[in-house]
A and B are shown apart, each in its own frame.
Chain A
Amino acid sequence: MSIWLVMLFGGILTYLTRLSFIWLQDRFSMPLLIRRALRFVPPAVLSVVIFQELVFRNSTPDLSLTNTRLLAGIIAVVIAWRSRSPLLTIASGMASLLLLNLLFSFFGI
């Protein structure tokens, strides 16, 4: 499937999700179980991507202290949790990765 078809189908499904209840009104109501589940979807999906991006390098897991992405990611989580600032989180995460990589290559780890 070309990227254009992916965007088109993904866009149509997203639009229909947004339109769903605005259009249907009281003819259909959302089951409570689904309503409860939907709240957890964004943190769950994004967290999967975060963990996979931080832990895996070239499809092999690396949980060692030499995995600079994992270390910089943990620093970013702490900064995000304490500051609640998106910009500070991204900036400090990028800077941490840069510094750790420099440091590790300097000491030849």
Chain B
Amino acid sequence: MVSELPPTQTRGSQFIHGVKAILPILLAVAPFGMIYGALARQSGLSAAAAQSMSFIVFAGSSQFVTTQLVSQAIPGLVIVLTIFVVNLRHALYSASVAPYLQRLPARWKAGLAYLLTDEAYAVSILHFEKEGSSGNQHWFLFGAGLGLWTCWQLSTALGIFLGAVIPASWSLDFALPLTFIALIVPALKDRAGVAAALVAGVAGVVAFALPYKLGIITAALVGVAAGMLVEGKK
């Protein structure tokens, strides 16, 4: 009865399948990495700091927000708090993949947690739910995560280089709100999500003058509450 195991279940083929699953997504991720690198340079970060942020934080949206806050000389503690809140959603991913990784040794858990990005999570959870706990499925997440990581580091480096070349008259800073529009608008699939975004945005305009840019977090919380209210009414 061993023959029931499909041939995709060796470590190597799981890894390759993970890489293949993430490849089409990399086409969309690479431009974001380049824009991040260029914006980070133009906001005054050194090339080393801009690249290191892609290594250390490795979470696109929060890196974009950080470049924006750094350029306005916001206190570090507020930036750290903002990074934390923007990345809180990863706790959802962590809870969702946990059952498929529970028998792994600690070093695997520690390594895969670092690679658990939006994109790697999205392709891996689909694969896990389809194939169940086969024993080697963590190699799929490893392949997808490493593929995305490599793309993010290389595109950051390319963006850092371009950021030094692109003239200031091109209004490259406008790429920040455009990037966020490109990220969230296609993801708004229901009324509750739209309510969260619109209420947060308007609250952000009202709360703009709060000290230390705390208006971002405050307004975001108001938006989250609005989203939950609309969702709860269903």
User: Hey, which chain A residues are within 8 Å of B95, CB to CB?
Assistant: 20-21, 29-30, 35
User: Hey, which chain A residues are within 8 Å of B98, CB to CB?
Assistant: 21-22, 24-25
Contact assessment for B182 and A42 in the assembled complex, using a CB-CB cutoff below 8 Å: no
User: Hey, which chain B residues are within 8 Å of A89, CB to CB?
Assistant: 178, 181-182, 185
Q: Complex Cα distance A4/B39, Å?
A: 17
User: Hey, which chain A residues are within 8 Å of B83, CB to CB?
Assistant: 6, 10, 13-14
Contact assessment for A55 and B205 in the assembled complex, using a CB-CB cutoff below 8 Å: yes
Contact assessment for B220 and A44 in the assembled complex, using a CB-CB cutoff below 8 Å: yes
Contact assessment for B228 and A36 in the assembled complex, using a CB-CB cutoff below 8 Å: yes
Closest A residue to B87 using CB positions = A14
Q: Which of B3-11, B15-23, B59-67, B151-159 lines the interface with chain A?
A: B59-67
User: Hey, which chain A residues are within 8 Å of B164, CB to CB?
Assistant: none
Known contacts A22-B94, A86-B31; A14/B84 CB under 8 A: yes
Known contacts A8-B56, A56-B208; A41/B89 CB under 8 A: yes
Q: Which of B56, B68, B181, B193 contacts A93 (CB 8 A)?
A: B181
Contact assessment for B28 and A86 in the assembled complex, using a CB-CB cutoff below 8 Å: yes
* B125 at interface, CB cutoff 8 A: no
Q: Complex Cα distance A51/B176, Å?
A: 11
Contact assessment for A42 and B204 in the assembled complex, using a CB-CB cutoff below 8 Å: no
Q: Which of B68, B88, B216 contacts A17 (CB 8 A)?
A: B88
Known contacts A3-B45, A73-B177, A73-B178; A42/B97 CB under 8 A: no
Known: A48-B203, A49-B176, A76-B181; 14 extra A-B contacts, CB below 8 A, are A6-B80, A18-B113, A38-B88, A38-B89, A41-B85, A41-B224, A42-B184, A43-B196, A44-B221, A47-B180, A49-B216, A51-B200, A52-B216, A90-B179
Binding site for B on A (CB under 8 A): 1-11, 13-15, 17-25, 29-30, 35-56, 59, 61, 69, 72-73, 76-77, 80-81, 84, 86-87, 89-90, 93-94, 97-98, 101
Q: Provide 8 A-B residue pairs closer than 8 Å at the C-beta atoms, listed in order of the A residue.
A: A1-B77, A18-B93, A24-B98, A41-B88, A44-B196, A54-B177, A69-B177, A87-B31
Binding site for A on B (CB under 8 A): 28, 31-32, 35, 45, 49, 52-53, 56-59, 61-62, 65-66, 68, 70, 75-77, 79-80, 82-95, 97-98, 101-102, 109-110, 112-114, 116, 170-171, 174-188, 192-193, 196-205, 208, 215-217, 219-221, 223-224, 227-228, 231
